[in-house]
Structure 1
């Protein structure tokens, strides 16, 4: 009798622990999406600056602008991690991984296209491309945040 009694207590304890984990995941997901209002525009601006960097023409100055934009992205991630305790560079599941891969691919493709446009002297197209990438990142970061939160809630 004692063994069945301890088994039921163990099962109840396990259910309670799983419930607490689920509640923690929901709270983390809420904290994660609550910060989108400032993270998405900041990251979108930094990426747009990186894409527009080849428009300055001089390789040294382009490197400085690109480096500063990259530092801004790292700083944004650091501030987000300090405020939420969550690192955004590790997807929580398949949906957030897919969105992150698409965002990284668009950034790389836009930067290469910007370099090609700069070598052809098409500065106005670089600005248009940077503006388009700003919008893609603004929307994409919000989608990533929601996908991350959804993946976080689902993971058990």
Structure 2
């Protein structure tokens, strides 16, 4: 397409539209990071419950605890989406995607460690993996939120 077909009015309109989009992305980033104060601790508690689930007994009780904690995570995401209009389960760009992958890997690793400890009869050590899962999630959600906001602010 040849740019000579567009007049100065079309270029000004396009510039104005791009500026509007940039302002909207900055507003979304601010709204997204403003909700971290309650979402991060809530998600960290739910993840800690998932990581601690093997301590309830490997089989039925673990499944119930893990299922309830997973339902809590879904509920937190739903509440966050209602408050902000933003879904956090879709990364906004490469930085938030990388943080999400690392965070999920660390949570799965903490759960597997707890599961191994429970099968070895070392239930008291599950407290350590649960604490690690809580801290990783608490810090990880804050990092993810900032990466997500940075990706939103980035002009494509």
Question: Is the pair's TM-score, using the shorter chain for normalization, greater than 0.5?
Answer: yes
Separation in 1 of the partners of 2:95 and 2:138?
A: 18
Stretches of structure 2 lacking an aligned partner (at least 5 in a row): none
The answer on whether the counterparts of 2:40 and 2:138 sit within 8 Å (CA) in structure 1 is yes
User: What's 1:23 paired with?
Assistant: 23
Stretches of structure 1 lacking an aligned partner (at least 5 in a row): none
Shift of the alpha carbon at 1:58? 5.0
User: What's 1:13 paired with?
Assistant: 13
Separation in 1 of the partners of 2:127 and 2:71?
A: 21
The answer on whether the counterparts of 2:91 and 2:148 sit within 8 Å (CA) in structure 1 is yes
Task: Report SS of the residue matched to 1:155.
Answer: coil
Separation in 1 of the partners of 2:10 and 2:58?
A: 68
User: What's 2:34 paired with?
Assistant: 34
Separation in 2 of the partners of 1:47 and 1:112?
A: 13
The answer on whether the counterparts of 2:48 and 2:134 sit within 8 Å (CA) in structure 1 is yes
Separation in 2 of the partners of 1:49 and 1:140?
A: 16
TM-score (norm 1): 0.95
Separation in 1 of the partners of 2:17 and 2:131?
A: 48
User: What's 2:51 paired with?
Assistant: 51
Q: Deviation per CA, 1:2-37, whole angstroms, max 9, x where unpaired?
A: xx8x61000000000000000000000000000000
1:118 aligns with 2:118: yes
User: What's 1:63 paired with?
Assistant: 63
Separation in 1 of the partners of 2:60 and 2:12?
A: 64
The answer on whether the counterparts of 1:93 and 1:155 sit within 8 Å (CA) in structure 2 is no
User: What's 1:132 paired with?
Assistant: 132
Shift of the alpha carbon at 1:155? 3.4
Shift of the alpha carbon at 1:61? 1.1
The answer on whether the counterparts of 2:58 and 2:119 sit within 8 Å (CA) in structure 1 is no
Separation in 1 of the partners of 2:120 and 2:141?
A: 31
The answer on whether the counterparts of 1:81 and 1:87 sit within 8 Å (CA) in structure 2 is yes
Task: Decide whether aligned partners of structure 1 residues 51 and 133 sit closer, same or farther in structure 2, where only a CA change above 3 A counts.
Answer: same
When the two structures are aligned, how many residues end up with a matched partner?
153
The answer on whether the counterparts of 1:44 and 1:137 sit within 8 Å (CA) in structure 2 is yes
TM-score (norm 2): 0.95
